[in-house]
Chain A
């Protein structure tokens, strides 16, 4: 039972300054059985990730490079980030760059949404690491495209787990209590 306890629920971080779009994407994701955290700005998204990051560092003594969140089964880690492009302050593109530049989070798949169909914009995002680019309004069929990207993450995680299995055994059980309260505070929507 040990390491076969794969994350049955993927956790998606949604970023959009429009309340209506946040509600919509949240519903779309929840309907697909994903756990959702929705925030209204890039800076709040980074804050959310940053906080999570600190949490895991305390538990993990190793130099595990990728999203530490995804390694532990029950921790509130983020498996995918979906963000609007046009946002005041930090755009979705800026957020994408920041995430890809971060050693802890660069492996989290990022998806960009936009109401404007501008090929040069789309290409730039994809070239800089976005997995997908959705045109708004977002539909269920778009959300279905996310699954393969999320599944990819699981495979990597399993490989890592088999390496660190001995050490992690007891820690896994403790983590849910520590991270849950933190997560609840931050839920913005």
Chain B
């Protein structure tokens, strides 16, 4: 039982620090509240979907940015928009903020 308590405390501390440092925001807390006995793996499922989504979108963006003939910023922007939406829905605040900055680069057609 002690071990369980310890792990729980570690988890709580870690969560708190992620919130403090701005990685996660209130939306993530909302997700945690939605998890219950009927849906015990909800957070894990959504987080997994998010990671898959991220991978796919980042790959899309990388490919678009590597285009020799000229970067299709619209495509990059579309991917970032989706990523921004997903990260905002799960509470990944940092990712979302980065996306917002990214999009302004897209608008400026700034490859750097």
Once A20-B90, A24-B31 are accepted as A-B contacts, the answer to whether A136 and B49 lie under 8 Å apart by CB is no
B34 touches A137 (CB 8 A): no
Contacts of B109 in A (CB 8 A): none
Contacts of B30 in A (CB 8 A): 137, 139-140
A145 at the B interface (CB under 8 A): no
B33 touches A21 (CB 8 A): no
Once A115-B88, A137-B27, A137-B91 are accepted as A-B contacts, the answer to whether A20 and B34 lie under 8 Å apart by CB is no
Give the docked Cα–Cα distance between A24 and B28 (Å): 11
Chain A at the B interface: mostly helix, strand, loop or mixed? helix
B42 at the A interface (CB under 8 A): yes
Name which of B5-13, B63-71, B78-86 contacts chain A: B78-86
B42: contacting residue among A27, A115, A137, A139, CB under 8 A = A27
Give the docked Cα–Cα distance between A28 and B38 (Å): 13
Q: Determine how close the nearest CB of chain B comes to the CB of A57; give it in whole angstroms.
A: 35
Contacts of B27 in A (CB 8 A): 137, 139
Q: Determine how close the nearest CB of chain A comes to the CB of B36; give it in whole angstroms.
A: 8
A side interface size, CB within 8 A: 16
B50 at the A interface (CB under 8 A): yes
Chain B at the A interface: mostly helix, strand, loop or mixed? helix
Give the docked Cα–Cα distance between A18 and B85 (Å): 9
Contacts of B72 in A (CB 8 A): none
Contacts of A31 in B (CB 8 A): 34, 36
B84 touches A20 (CB 8 A): no
Instruction: Count CB-based A-B contacts (< 8 Å).
Output: 50
B107 at the A interface (CB under 8 A): no
A19 at the B interface (CB under 8 A): yes
B side interface size, CB within 8 A: 22
Q: Determine how close the nearest CB of chain B comes to the CB of A16; give it in whole angstroms.
A: 10
Contacts of A30 in B (CB 8 A): 38-39
Closest to B31 in A: A24
| Chain A 1-29 interface 0/1 with B at a Cβ cutoff of 8 Å (1 = within) | 00000000000000000111101100110
A136: contacting residue among B42, B53, B85, CB under 8 A = B85
A140 touches B34 (CB 8 A): yes
Q: Determine how close the nearest CB of chain A comes to the CB of B49; give it in whole angstroms.
A: 5
B46 touches A23 (CB 8 A): yes
Q: What are 5 inter-chain pairs, A to B, with CB distance below 8 A?
A: A20-B46, A21-B85, A28-B34, A115-B84, A140-B34
Since A137-B30, A139-B30 are in contact, a sample of 16 more A-B pairs with Cβ atoms closer than 8 Å, ordered by chain A residue number, is A19-B53, A20-B46, A20-B49, A20-B85, A21-B85, A21-B89, A24-B31, A24-B46, A27-B34, A27-B42, A30-B38, A115-B84, A115-B85, A136-B89, A137-B88, A137-B91
